[in-house]
Amino acid sequence: MDRMLVVVFENESKAYEGKKALLELDADGSISVYAYAILAKSADGKTTVKQGDDAGPLGALTGTALGSLIGLLGGPVGVALGAAAGLGAGAAADLHNARISSDFVDDVSRTLLPTKVAVVAEVEEDWITPVDTRMETIGGTVLRRSLSDVEDTVDDEDVAAIKADIAQMKAECAQAHADRKAKIQANIDQLNSKLQAHIQKAKDQRQAAERDAQLKADALKAKAKAAVAKARA
């Protein structure tokens, strides 16, 4: 399953340890890491992009889901990526390109507090235990969200992605050892809460759209009726 993964650590040293563990999981076939970056938030709240010795050029992230997420999290991250990157502009476009929902960005922003550092990566993972186990050992807080492939409304994409995560985690929970079940179930419970919030939001939006459409239809009917009355007069 293609996912955006964010692991928040207390300091830069731990983050680089987390990056190393992530790449080791990639090397042993537990996951596939497509792209990654390390973000640090300073005491004044400014987010900067860090680069390890083995990392590719930051400019290569431009236009990718990961680059768009960095733009959403970092604000003026274009400064770090270079003037041509332009990742700080157009939050709505960045959100669409990142293929994740605004609530995920909010979750990450609340967790990535000043002085903390995060490993941000686009990965393919069939189960969450390998990453969670390694990152918990290092002291990282893991946040993840499936990347949407649906070219529909943002809400439909969000709901589909959350449902996919819940289904995958339920399957994993059924096979997990007792010491992992509670942690996986906690992930499922959090996603269920988000799912219900998205469903309610979509329902409210549909009802608002229906009311708006009805008001427009009523207005057109009233205009037509007035025009007929005028013509008869």
In this predicted structure, what is the pLDDT of residue 97? 66
- pLDDT at 78 exceeding the cut of 50: no
How far apart, in whole angstroms, are the C-alpha atoms of residue 64 and residue 62? Answer: 6
Residue-level pLDDT at 167: 92
- Look at residue 213 and give its three-state secondary structure: helix
Residue 149 has pLDDT above 60, yes or no: no
Q: 152 or 165: whose pLDDT is higher?
A: 165
Q: Report angle CA 10, 40, 137 to the nearest 5 degrees.
A: 30
Reported as a single tens digit per residue, the pLDDT across 188-205 is 999 998 888 877 776 765
* CB-based contact 99:147 (threshold 8 Å): yes
92, pLDDT greater than 70: no
pTM, to two decimals: 0.63
Average pLDDT over residues 26-35: 87
Lowest mean pLDDT among 32-46, 61-75, 120-134: 61-75
> Binning pLDDT at 50, 70 and 90, where does residue 154 land?
low
What are the residue ranges spanned by the domains of the chain?
A: 1-147, 149-233
What CA–CA distance (Å, rounded) separates 156 from 148? 9
Share of the chain above pLDDT 70, in %: 71
Comparing CA positions, the residue from 174, 122, 172, 130 lying closest to residue 148 is 122
CB 110, CB 71: distance < 8 Å: no
- Checking if the pLDDT of 76 tops 50, the result is no
State residue 53's pLDDT score: 39
CB atoms within 10 A of CB 32: 13
Q: What pLDDT was estimated at residue 200?
A: 78
- At residue 182, does pLDDT exceed 80? yes
Binned at pLDDT 50, 70 and 90, residue 218 comes out as low
Q: pLDDT, tens digit, for every residue of 122-141?
A: 888 989 999 999 999 999 99
